[in-house]
Amino acid sequence: MEFKQGDWVRIEKDGTVYEGKVMPSMERYIAIKMKSGYNAGFSTDKVRITLMESNGETANGGKNGGKEHKNGDAELSKPGKKLPKVAILSTGGTIASKIDYRTGAVTSQFTADDILAAIPELKEIADFKGRVISSILSENMDSESWQNLARAVVEEIEAGADGVIVTHGTDTMMYTAAALSFMIETPVPIVLVGSQRSADRPSSDNAMNAICAACVSISDIAEVSVVMHGTTSDDFCEIHRGTKVRKMHTSCRNAFKSVNSLPIGVVDYNKREIKTFIDYTRRGVSSLKFKPGMEPKCALVKFTPGADPAILDCYLENGYRGLILEGTGLGHVSTKWIPFIQKATDAKIPVIVTSQCLNGRICDRVYDTGRDMLKAGAIEGEDTLPETALVKMMWVLGQTNEFDKAIEMLREDISGEITECTLK
């Protein structure tokens, strides 16, 4: 028997029963989304499948009488229920991916509308409008992609969206989050969400992350945030500030952590409730402003013991306009690097120092090396993450050509990237 996308089916495998909605599936393979939000995939020749409900028509034995599992559309059509308007912009990444059985690799194939169709619970939270910006893995993003995305986000807010969700690959999500944070001053939530495991894997985190992101998109947290699993269980998602977040694990579902800040808050997945921990900008406080300028020729350079400082010359000779150093400890590079820092700042190339420790604050006033780096014109990145400092440099140099103005802006906290107190 053929099953259609959206059919509610019961699958028996080795004595265990699974029920769920049929998702886009390959030949001789069936993927379902279960009520828990988890997906499960089966080879059709190894299981017994019973159709329980087909597009509103309940099959004999269907225990739900055609009600409970009907796509969530029933909720939407309730008279008098007005849901907030949320735009969901898809860019690609694992959240929009499935396994391509031809190559065995995970590729970005789903659009925003496919994601909405696969996670019917979303329709109970907001009135969504899907839009595809790109279908790429996030390692292929660049500053032009950030600008195109930011432009689309701004268009949606101008068109009346109460919130915007951006589905994105997790690998570089923190760079995009930082870029949107600097480029857009927003009156509504802008939420980035991804998943570590594709939709057709039983342990996919896509549904829970997307549902929690939807809760944040209609909340009063009018900031750019990243919403991802808070633990390895399906209990809550954390809401991270876009300039303070980093992917800290290659594969765990709770890979994203706030660094040098608490998360803005958490979303309880079961209760769909938000609890906040730190101050945040509330809905409607800022008016929409868009400053898209970006200078792509900036580099983040990691210092390692014995590294040849001539590497800095390569950047200068190739027309780079700003450098971020990822130094050791409190923010150091070898003494041999200091004349090269001087050479850069003499050429009006700003240099920011950040730390490989990630946690804590730069202080170049303790050791001789640090003091000499400051004398050579380096700027302390305070407690800014190296990646955020890079994006900030790109954005600042996209806003001004004046060196002194750029230095002033680089020292300022623009979008929550520098906090006053160092988190222990």
Q: Counting Cβ atoms within 10 Å, is residue 363 exposed (0-12), middle (13-18) or buried (19+)?
A: middle
Active site residue 343: no
**Cβ–Cβ < 8 Å for 95, 209:** yes
Q: Which one of 114, 171, 364, 383 is the catalytic residue?
A: 171
Take residue 63 and report the two structure tokens written for it. 């225990």
Q: Residues, the chain, total?
A: 424
CA atoms lying within 13 Å on the CB side of residue 259:
24
Residue whose CB is less far from ligand ASP, 100 or 408: 100
Q: Where are the alpha helices (DSSP H) in 33-77?
A: 73-76
Residue 369 is among the residues annotated as catalytic for this protein: no
* DSSP state letter for 56: T
Catalytic: 170?
Answer: yes
| Count of residues in contact with ligand ASP, rule CB under 6 A | 10
**Which position among 11, 137, 193, 226 is part of the footprint of ligand ASP (CB under 6 A)?**
137
Instruction: Quote the radius of gyration of the chain (alpha carbons, Å).
Output: 24
Contact range with ligand ASP by CB under 6 A, out of 21-29, 54-62, 136-144, 368-376: 136-144
Task: Classify 129 as helix, strand or coil.
Answer: strand
Q: Which is nearer to ligand ASP, 6 or 93 (CB)?
A: 93
Binding part of the chain for ligand ASP, among 26-34, 40-48, 131-139, 219-227 by CB under 6 A, reads: 131-139
CB of 135 to ligand ASP, least distance (A): 10
> Could you tell me the smallest distance in angstroms from the CB atom of residue 260 to ligand ASP?
23
365 CB burial (10 A radius; 0-12, 13-18, 19+):
exposed
C-alpha span between 193 and 216 (Å, rounded): 11
* Span 202-231, contacts to ligand ASP by CB under 6 A: none
Closest contact distance (angstroms) between CB of 125 and ligand ASP is 23
Distance in angstroms (rounded) separating the CA atoms of residues 262 and 165: 22
Q: Is 383 in the site for ligand ASP (CB under 6 A)?
A: no
Catalytic residue (choose from 7, 21, 70, 94): 94
91 binds ligand ASP (CB under 6 A): no
For ligand ASP, the closer CB: 171 or 382: 171
C-alpha 31 chain-centroid distance: 26
Which residues ranging from 145 to 204 are in contact with ligand ASP (CB under 6 A)? 169-171, 194, 196
Active site residue 94: yes
- Nearest-10 Cα torsion for 276, 277, 279, 281: -30
Of 221 and 385, nearer to ligand ASP (C-beta) is 385
Least distance from C-beta 94 to ligand ASP, angstroms? 3
Binding residue (CB under 6 A) for ligand ASP from 90, 94, 176, 355: 94
| Site for ligand ASP contains 93 (CB under 6 A) | yes
Query: Of the listed 58, 167, 170, 388, which one is catalytic?
Result: 170
Q: Which is nearer to ligand ASP, 170 or 243 (CB)?
A: 170
Which residue, 178 or 222, is less far from ligand ASP as judged by CB?
178
Buried b (16+ CB within 10 A) or exposed e, 376-401: bbbbbbbbbbbbbbbbbbbbbbbbee
What are the backbone angles phi and psi of residue 62, rounded to the nearest 5°? -65, 120
Residues labelled catalytic? 94, 170-171, 247
Residues that bind ligand ASP (CB under 6 A): 93-94, 137-139, 169-171, 194, 196
